[in-house]
Amino acid sequence: METTDFKLTSWIKIPVNSDFPIYNLPLGIIKHKDGKQSAATAIGDYAVDLSALHRLGYLKGIALPDAIFDKPYLNEFIALGKPVWHSLRQRIKVLLGSDNGELRDNKQAVKECLYSINDVELCMPVKVGDYTDFYSSKEHATNVGSMFRDPKNALLPNWLHLPVAYHGRSSSILVSGHNFHRPKGQVTLPGSDNPSFSPSKALDFELEMTFIIGKSTELGQSISTKEAGDYIFGMTLFNDWSARDIQRWEYVPLGPFLAKNFASTTSPWLVSMEALEPFRTKAPDQQPEVLPYLKRSKADSAIDITLEVWLQAEKSEAVKLCTSNYKYLYWTMEQQLAHHTSNGCNINVGDLMASGTISGPTPDSFGSMLELTWNGSKPISLPGGQERKFLQDGDTVIIKGYAQNEKGRIGFGEARAKVLSAI
Amino acid sequence: METTDFKLTSWIKIPVNSDFPIYNLPLGIIKHKDGKQSAATAIGDYAVDLSALHRLGYLKGIALPDAIFDKPYLNEFIALGKPVWHSLRQRIKVLLGSDNGELRDNKQAVKECLYSINDVELCMPVKVGDYTDFYSSKEHATNVGSMFRDPKNALLPNWLHLPVAYHGRSSSILVSGHNFHRPKGQVTLPGSDNPSFSPSKALDFELEMTFIIGKSTELGQSISTKEAGDYIFGMTLFNDWSARDIQRWEYVPLGPFLAKNFASTTSPWLVSMEALEPFRTKAPDQQPEVLPYLKRSKADSAIDITLEVWLQAEKSEAVKLCTSNYKYLYWTMEQQLAHHTSNGCNINVGDLMASGTISGPTPDSFGSMLELTWNGSKPISLPGGQERKFLQDGDTVIIKGYAQNEKGRIGFGEARAKVLSAI
């Protein structure tokens, strides 16, 4: 760990409180105006083209195949392994540091490597093979259980013993900025078993984060909580859009399907676990005691990441709906990964593991409209006199996230998308 | 439709009742002894190497890119579209026909194109992006509901209104012949909410079939039942291995996860919808009437495919456990696909859609041990005095399937795998 790195400065101008100081250096995929895609890192309001850096010889000494940064996804780079991730990060920090002139003083090279973030398109960072969605917030599961079952027995019997999860749809994961149409589906009136087919009237967001797998396993192999860190590359913000009315009718007995698979939104930059290390914090206590394969490897297996959800109605200002934190999760990512592989299920580089809705203890920290409006019974007031029980056409939802402590601050950018009317 | 093609004969010797007469011509991926993979078709006991056929100029006139059959998966070929699938099939039928000497009379070419099925390894035919598992057998859903809920209300309220489904895990789909280890996981004693971690004691097979997507859609696009046929390339046999004890504890409220994602087995040859067309048959009546988007496009939207499950205990002969039929499914594949895309969910070439367990009306047609032994209460007797409630280590399960009528017969080969002991 290099906490002193927070004091580093760059010859690239970085706005105060930027999500992307020189310490962060997340990885993503950018598309240039000519359509060419390349891997990049973000610094301040710039994207640094790693393909160009590599081609121009600025990454010598790192074990990188030719054209590794010219691929449409980061999977092949990530598969090179943790020592290579680390070397790249270290090298970029040096190269962009205030006192380094190697790149800075070569105007032609700067022109080829440095792009205003407004001049490039941010793309899906990885090709997701399999996408798993956990359900790891005790507050969220308790809220849902209280609303739809029994407040006194809100959690189902398995919930405190294992991180409940289900498989999601990879094909419909969108990168921030891509809008989608309101889904249609079978819905029923309360108390009725006669469905009709219509656009969802209960479209919701879910405030989530993901971790992206950095190392594959073979079928039959299990990962311990202690080993889990070696298999995780980085994290993103995530919105698991949900149609509550479709979900209510379809989900028994095999879980959510069309209620979720019409769209999910990820932020574009993969923030590395290395960059997040200084923000480790204590995870919530667990009672009853978990089985041995789920025992946490360390006390600070949570991460302190402040999360915000903003809603921007058409022609209105964005308003903040909630503030939550990744550290609230009852099940940590090392426990999630140990559980996921405990039966021998294999994982692949680029797999996306989402946290489930991250709700906190207070009503202003609930991570979905379902909880914020208590299933529509307490509408949210918006500026200009509008109200929301669930999302309306034209609503843009923006998830933001950042980690901050006395040492410094890094952010995730945003996961943003607008709800278009049903086709 | 070319039903007269059933009378075609080939200059390649084909055993009587082979799954692969010249009419079938399924596609797959073979691996040669030198490790090279290529696309192939099956005829009798031979694999015909399509890469070699193409290289040697035998496929001229078909719009095929160079090296299209040298890929490790069929996805890129399938993406070329239905007219190309048809042209290839027609050309191979001519080339392998009794009266055609083009290939037959070129001994060197025959040597490069024709391989005994014993001299090649059969590989995964497609790279599966997303895998969906339906739950479309009324008999199976009724059996499960009767066992675990209420025999008088065995079907949940949604079941007759929509084809229930969930997303499965793509990474652990194995091709026939690849064995796997018994999964471990959290299980509870009946009536207890205190889990322990152990190898599953209730490992089961599920007799299923798949259809493989042949044409992609954009997010937001829906496919009607009438259009569905354009989006389906072909079918395989499928075993959705299930750990019933893990499933019982984990599956509320989000569905099966570790109980299923440790392994699934597909047969290696994709039998085309074109080859299956003569075996179309009437699907079961549906009451209550389905919503308009689920109305079947034609009366014969089912397919008559006889399915068998065989169990071979270690050092024993294989015994047949059940005989079922794909035509029993309440929801047909065109309904499944229309439902899957009704919310705008996008599909991609190579996606795998499994049917769910295919059980018939009589106990000897039930497609899982769970049903055959009625949750272990009626053990199955095997030769040599052994009994089975669920699967034991060393048990090999073999699924076979064929379509046969007065016109002719085609088969699917097999989906076979052995249960190895837990790691």
Rounded distance between C-alpha atoms, residue B264 and residue B258, angstroms: 12
Closest-CA distance, B392 to chain A, in angstroms, reads: 17
Residues of A within 8 A of B342 (CB-CB) are 184-185, 197, 258
- pLDDT tens-digit series, residues B330-355: 999 999 999 999 999 999 999 999 99
Residue A338: count other Cβ atoms within 10 Å of its Cβ. 25
Average pLDDT over residues A223-244: 98
Termini Cα distance of chain B: 50
What is the percent of chain A with per-residue pLDDT over 70, rounded to a whole number? 99
Q: Where are the alpha helices (DSSP H) in B82-240?
A: 82-96, 107-113, 138-148
Among candidate residues A32, A54, A86, A140, the one labeled active-site is: A140
CB-CB: which of A172, A184, A343 is closest to B258? A343
Closest-CA distance, B145 to chain A, in angstroms, reads: 10
How does the average pLDDT of chain A come out, rounded? Answer: 97
Among candidate residues B32, B86, B140, B339, the one labeled active-site is: B140
Q: Using DSSP, state whether A7 is helix, strand or coil.
A: helix
Of A242, A235, A200, A216, the residue nearest A369 (C-alpha) = A242
pLDDT at B2: 52
Structural tokens at position B113: 């194109």
CB-CB: which of B169, B342, B351 is closest to A345? B169
pLDDT at B327: 98
Instruction: Classify burial at A299, counting beta carbons within 10 Å of its beta carbon; exposed 0-12, middle 13-18, buried 19 or more.
Output: exposed
Asked if the Cβ–Cβ distance from A423 to B174 is below 8 Å, we say: no
pLDDT at A400: 98
Alpha carbon A58 to chain centroid distance? 30
Alpha carbon A122 to chain centroid distance? 15
- pLDDT tens-digit series, residues A92-133: 999 999 999 999 999 999 999 999 999 999 999 999 999 999
Average pLDDT over residues A266-291: 98
Rounded distance between C-alpha atoms, residue A366 and residue A360, angstroms: 6
Q: Where are the alpha helices (DSSP H) in A81-198?
A: 82-96, 107-113, 138-148
Contact in structure between A101 and A49 (CB atoms under 8 Å) = no
B243: nearest CA in chain A?
Answer: A343
Asked if the Cβ–Cβ distance from B345 to A423 is below 8 Å, we say: no
Of A134, A335, A340, A334, the residue nearest A219 (C-alpha) = A340
Asked if the Cβ–Cβ distance from A254 to B256 is below 8 Å, we say: yes
B191: nearest CA in chain A?
Answer: A157
Asked if the Cβ–Cβ distance from A168 to B167 is below 8 Å, we say: yes
Q: Using DSSP, state whether A26 is helix, strand or coil.
A: coil
Closest-CA distance, A230 to chain B, in angstroms, reads: 20
Of B268, B304, B267, B265, the residue nearest B284 (C-alpha) = B304
Rounded distance between C-alpha atoms, residue B233 and residue B128, angstroms: 13
Rounded distance between C-alpha atoms, residue B52 and residue B64, angstroms: 13
Asked if the Cβ–Cβ distance from B193 to A157 is below 8 Å, we say: yes
Asked if the model's pLDDT at residue A1 lies above 90, the reply is no
Note the maximum CA span of chain A: 71
Asked if the Cβ–Cβ distance from B186 to A291 is below 8 Å, we say: yes
pLDDT at A4: 59
pLDDT at B384: 87
Rounded distance between C-alpha atoms, residue A183 and residue A175, angstroms: 18
Closest-CA distance, A145 to chain B, in angstroms, reads: 10
Asked if the model's pLDDT at residue B105 lies above 50, the reply is yes
Rounded distance between C-alpha atoms, residue B338 and residue B227, angstroms: 9
B291 to A185, A196, B163, B228, B338: CA distances (angstroms):
11, 7, 12, 17, 11
Of B344, B224, B212, B333, the residue nearest A172 (C-alpha) = B344
Closest-CA distance, B198 to chain A, in angstroms, reads: 10
Picking from B135, B247, B343 by the largest number of A CB atoms within 10 A of its own CB, the best residue to mutate is B343
What is the percent of chain B with per-residue pLDDT over 90, rounded to a whole number? 96
Asked if the model's pLDDT at residue B1 lies above 90, the reply is no
Picking from B159, B167, B250 by the largest number of A CB atoms within 10 A of its own CB, the best residue to mutate is B167
Contact in structure between B103 and B52 (CB atoms under 8 Å) = no
Asked if the model's pLDDT at residue A90 lies above 60, the reply is yes
Closest-CA distance, A280 to chain B, in angstroms, reads: 29
CB-CB: which of B135, B161, B195 is closest to A161? B195
Residues of A within 8 A of B255 (CB-CB) are 166, 251, 253-256
Asked if the Cβ–Cβ distance from A220 to B252 is below 8 Å, we say: no
Asked if the model's pLDDT at residue B296 lies above 90, the reply is yes
CB-CB: which of A167, A250, A423 is closest to B344? A423
Q: What is the DSSP string of A246-308?
A: HHHHH-TTT--STTTTT-EEE-S-BEEHHHHGGGEEPPPP-SSPPPGGG--SSTT-EE--EEE
Asked if the model's pLDDT at residue A280 lies above 70, the reply is yes
Closest-CA distance, B42 to chain A, in angstroms, reads: 29
CB-CB: which of B219, B257, B293 is closest to A167? B257
A180: nearest CA in chain B?
Answer: B220
Asked if the Cβ–Cβ distance from A166 to B162 is below 8 Å, we say: no
Contact in structure between B184 and B421 (CB atoms under 8 Å) = no
Rounded distance between C-alpha atoms, residue B382 and residue B367, angstroms: 17
B370 to B180, B202, B331, B391: CA distances (angstroms):
20, 9, 22, 10
Size of interface A-B (CB pairs under 8 A): 185
Termini Cα distance of chain A: 50
Average pLDDT over residues B242-249: 97
Residues of A within 8 A of B243 (CB-CB) are 343
Of A24, A196, A164, A276, the residue nearest B291 (C-alpha) = A196
- pLDDT tens-digit series, residues B54-68: 999 999 999 999 999
Note the maximum CA span of chain B: 71
B170: nearest CA in chain A?
Answer: A130
Asked if the Cβ–Cβ distance from A345 to B261 is below 8 Å, we say: yes
Q: Would you call the peptide bond into B253 cis, given omega within 30 degrees of 0 as the criterion?
A: yes
Residues of A within 8 A of B351 (CB-CB) are 171
Average pLDDT over residues B176-191: 96
Rounded distance between C-alpha atoms, residue B271 and residue B413, angstroms: 10
Rounded distance between C-alpha atoms, residue B252 and residue B22, angstroms: 48
Q: Which residues contact B72 (CB under 8 A, 6 or more apart)?
A: B29, B37, B123, B127
Structural tokens at position B258: 């570790």
Asked if the Cβ–Cβ distance from A219 to B262 is below 8 Å, we say: yes
Please report the ipTM that was assigned to this predicted complex: 0.97
Question: How many residues are present in chain B?
Answer: 423
Model confidence at A284, in pLDDT bands (50, 70, 90)? very high
Asked if the Cβ–Cβ distance from A348 to B258 is below 8 Å, we say: no
CB-CB: which of B165, B169, B196 is closest to A130? B169
CB-CB: which of B184, B342, B343 is closest to A343? B184
Asked if the Cβ–Cβ distance from B250 to A162 is below 8 Å, we say: yes
Asked if the Cβ–Cβ distance from B130 to A171 is below 8 Å, we say: yes
**Residue B140 annotated among the catalytic residues of the structure:** yes
